[in-house]
Amino acid sequence: MRTLNIGILAHVDAGKTSLTERLLFDHGAIDRLGSVDAGDTRTDDGGIERRRGITIRSAVAAFTVGGTRVNLIDTPGHSDFVAEVERALEVLDGAVLLLSAVEGVQARTRVLMRTLRRLRLPTLVFVNKIDRAGARTDGLLDDVRRLLTPHVAPLTEVTDAGTPHARVVRRPPDGRTAEALAEVDPGILAALVDGPEPTGQDLACALAAGTADGSFHPLYHGSALGGQGVAELVEGLIGLVPAAAPDTSAGAEPRGTVFAVRPGPAGERTAYLRLYDGEVRPRRRLTFLRRESDGRTTEVSGRVTRLDVVGGDATLTAGNIAALTVPGGLRVGDRLGELSERAPQFAPPTLQTLVRAVHPEQAAPLRSALLALADQDPLLHARPAASGATALLLYGEVQLEVLAATLAEDFGIEAHFAPGRVRFLERPSGTGEAAEEMPWLDHTRYWATIGLRVEPSPRGSGGEFAHETELGALPRAFHQAIEETVHATLLTGLTGAAVTDYRVTLVRSGFSSPVSTAADFRGLTPIVLRRALDRAGTVLHEPYQVFEAEVPADALAAVTALLASLGADFTGTTGGDPAWTVTGELPARRVREAELRLPGLTRGEAVWSSRPAADRPLRPGNGWPGKGVGGHPGE
Compare 331 and 530 and report the one with higher pLDDT.
Answer: 530
Query: Please, what is the average pLDDT of the chain?
Result: 83
Cβ contact 24:113 at 8 Å: no
**Residue 356 burial (CB count, 10 A):** 19
Residue of 511, 440, 527 whose CA lies nearest to 478:
511
Class of domain 540-617: alpha beta
CA angle 108, 112, 118 (to 5 degrees): 145
| Inter-CA distances, 132 with 20, 102, 127, 364, Å | 19, 7, 12, 51
Where along the chain do the CATH 2.40.30.10 domains lie? 255-336
Q: What is the pLDDT of residue 78?
A: 42
Give CA 291 to chain center in angstroms: 15
> What band does 250 get if pLDDT is binned at 50, 70 and 90?
low
Q: CA–CA separation, 178 vs 65, rounded Å?
A: 29
Q: What is the pLDDT of residue 633?
A: 36
Where along the chain do the CATH 3.30.230.10 domains lie? 426-536
Residue 42 has pLDDT above 70, yes or no: no
Q: What is the pLDDT of residue 248?
A: 62
Question: Among 270-279, 467-476, 560-569, which range has the highest average pLDDT?
Answer: 560-569
Architecture of the domain spanning 351-419: 2-Layer Sandwich (3.30)
Q: What is the pLDDT of residue 84?
A: 53
pTM for this predicted structure: 0.69
Residue 448 has pLDDT above 70, yes or no: yes
Where along the chain do the CATH 3.30.70.870 domains lie? 351-419
**Sign of the C-alpha dihedral computed for residues 244, 247, 248 and 254 taken in this order:** negative
Residue 174 has pLDDT above 70, yes or no: yes
Q: Which CATH number fits domain 255-336: 2.40.30.10, 3.40.50.1820, 3.40.50.10210, 1.20.1110.10?
A: 2.40.30.10
* CATH number at 426-536: 3.30.230.10
Strands 335-336 and 316-317: unpaired
Give the pLDDT confidence of 44-57 residue by residue, as tens digits: 444 433 443 333 34
Ramachandran area for residue 255 (φ above 0: left; ψ -120 to 50: alpha; else beta): beta
Where along the chain do the CATH 3.30.70.240 domains lie? 540-617
Residue 214 has pLDDT above 90, yes or no: yes
Give the pLDDT confidence of 518-545 residue by residue, as tens digits: 999 999 999 999 999 999 999 999 989 8
H runs (alpha helix) in 447-583: 476-489, 518-536, 556-565
Strands 68-74 and 269-277: unpaired
Q: What is the pLDDT of residue 621?
A: 61
* CATH number at 2-240: 3.40.50.300
Q: What is the pLDDT of residue 138?
A: 83
**Residue 137 burial (CB count, 10 A):** 18
